[in-house]
Amino acid sequence: MKNIRWLIGAVIIVAIVAFIVFRPLPFLFYHKLPYVGFVGRALYIILLACVMCLYRIWKGPTSADRIVAVDILGIMIVGLCAILTISTGRSWYIDIGIAWALQSFISTLALSKYLEGKGFEE
Amino acid sequence: MIIDVIGLIFIVIGFAFDVFGCLGLVRLPDVYNRLQAATKCVTLGTCSILFGTFLVVGFIAAGMKCLLCMIFLLLTSPVAAHAIARGAHRSGVKLWEGSVVDKYAEDKEGEA
Amino acid sequence: MKSKMILFALGFVAWLLLNWPPDWQHSLTGIFIAAFVAYMTGDLFIQRPHVLKHPKRYWYFVMHYIPVFLWECLKANIDVAYRVIHPDLPIKPGIVKVKTTLQTDTALTFLANSITLTPGTLSVDIDRDNGILYVHWIDVRAKDIDKATAQIVERFEGILRKVFE
């Protein structure tokens, strides 16, 4: 039973990756910059990982699972901003990435303090 | 040109580790195992993506910010994981039933 | 005072990296902002500034700590990827106790970070008085405190003692 479930999941992921390789994201093509086809495929893969995080946020049995998923989503969005820096050639996307990393770290610390059930004085 | 190709290889490795980390977030059974898989894989994956971006764009403003962001992520991501694990254990989240040993809960009961 | 000077230098370097092609206007603004930040929060950052004077510590940090850390990090990622892809999920988790002999805050922080990013381990809590770390291990091979210490901590403890203490 476990092997059958694993096989179904593997087939779904291989199908999604094959779709990604053959159908790149079209809206980035008019920039005429280098590596646009590569980046158009790469954005799909990071969106696949983000969808997995959203599944864990939706389904998580405890609130600690949801906090973990939010933290991981915040780290991956930094990578997404770096990729957008290459594809569009605008360097302010990485500024968004740095600000997002700082804010995500502080919000994770605050959420874990809330989870611990103590005040903020300690 | 060859440096661009090396940077793109780093970016592809980073994407692979990101997807593995999120797969671990979906498949593994309890909070601590999910935290392990996700923190390790996603931290090194995102650092690899940022280093590849630095190699592609070169020594301009965006590349320097990539290096700074990489150092920041390597310093802060384990601290966040540590805080979440401690908070989860103190708020009473149980370990998975296949777990072998839990010295922390034993010691805390001894104190209280 | 010495720690304020060090924090001023670090803040000014970070400001220059954020405004990368350096010109004199950005540098002047950066001097004022770094001085203000160092004046406000200088006492909180570095408690023992005399450690920073020895060049041997930088040598150990760059040539011994960073290669070991990167290699363990890569091994950790391949290990986690193998465990996630395998259909039977070969995990045997548990929380074990290890002991350490490091004392200072910086060394303990770097030790906990290194434990979190190396194969199969995640630091959960720390007991400063007795020098005990609680570590979540995804594949428990030794429940005993001495064997667990030998397998988890001793890769980094010697290097970190030479660097930070």
pLDDT digits over A102-111, tens only?
A: 999 999 999 8
Q: What is the per-residue DSSP string for A23-57?
A: S--GGGGGG--TTHHHHHHHHHHHHHHHHHHHHHH
- The rounded distance, in Å, linking the Cα atoms of C159 and B79 is 21
Q: In this prediction, what percent of chain A has a pLDDT beyond 90?
A: 12
* Closest A-chain CA to B51: A82
Contact present, A75 and B77 (Cβ < 8 Å)? yes
Judge if C107 and C38 occupy the same domain.
Answer: no
Judge if C22 and C102 occupy the same domain.
Answer: no
Sign of torsion over alpha carbons B76, B78, B79, B85 = positive
Residue A116 pLDDT level (bands cut at 50, 70, 90): confident
**Of the candidate ranges A58-62, A117-121, C81-85, C121-125, the one whose mean pLDDT is the lowest:** A117-121
The pLDDT of residue B35 is above 50: yes
Contact present, C7 and C46 (Cβ < 8 Å)? yes
- Average pLDDT for C61-74: 87
Give the pLDDT confidence score for residue A106 in this predicted structure: 92
Listed by number, the residues of chain A in 33-62 with a beta carbon closer than 8 Å to a beta carbon of chain B are 34-35, 38, 42, 45-46, 48-50, 52-53, 55-56, 62
Judge if C67 and C88 occupy the same domain.
Answer: yes
Give the pLDDT confidence score for residue C28 in this predicted structure: 92
Is C87 part of the contact surface with chain B (CB cutoff 8 Å)?
A: no
The pLDDT of residue A120 is above 80: no
The pLDDT of residue A38 is above 80: no
Give the pLDDT confidence score for residue B110 in this predicted structure: 60
The pLDDT of residue C20 is above 70: yes
* Closest B-chain CA to A48: B19
The pLDDT of residue C5 is above 50: yes
* Closest A-chain CA to C84: A6
| Domain residue limits, chain A | 2-116
Give the pLDDT confidence score for residue A105 in this predicted structure: 92
Contact present, C7 and C37 (Cβ < 8 Å)? yes
The alpha-helical segments, DSSP class H, found in chain A are 2-22, 36-59, 63-88, 93-116
- Beta bridge pairs of residue C139: C92
Q: ∠C83-B82-A74 over CA atoms, to 5°?
A: 75
The pLDDT of residue B27 is above 80: yes
Is A29 part of the contact surface with chain B (CB cutoff 8 Å)?
A: no
Report the predicted TM-score, pTM, of the whole model to 2 decimal places: 0.88
- Average pLDDT for C122-141: 83
Give the pLDDT confidence score for residue A122 in this predicted structure: 46
Judge if C35 and C114 occupy the same domain.
Answer: no
- Average pLDDT for A15-32: 68
Domain that holds residue C6: 2-50
Q: How far is CA B34 from the centre of its chain?
A: 10
The pLDDT of residue C51 is above 80: no
Residue C50 or C30, more confident: C30
Domain count, chain C: 2
- Beta bridge pairs of residue C127: C132
Give the pLDDT confidence score for residue A29 in this predicted structure: 52
Is C22 part of the contact surface with chain B (CB cutoff 8 Å)?
A: no
| Measured CA distances, C125 to A109, A114, B104, B110, C82 (Å) | 15, 17, 8, 16, 27
Whether residues C84 and B24 touch (CB distance < 8 A) is answered with yes
Nearest Cα neighbor of B51 from B68, B28, B39, B31 is B68
Mean per-residue pLDDT over chain C, rounded: 83
- Average pLDDT for B15-40: 87
- Average pLDDT for A21-47: 69
CB-based contacts of C47, cutoff 8 Å, min separation 6: C3, C105
**Of the candidate ranges A41-45, B36-40, C70-74, the one whose mean pLDDT is the lowest:** A41-45
The pLDDT of residue A118 is above 70: no
Judge if C15 and C58 occupy the same domain.
Answer: no
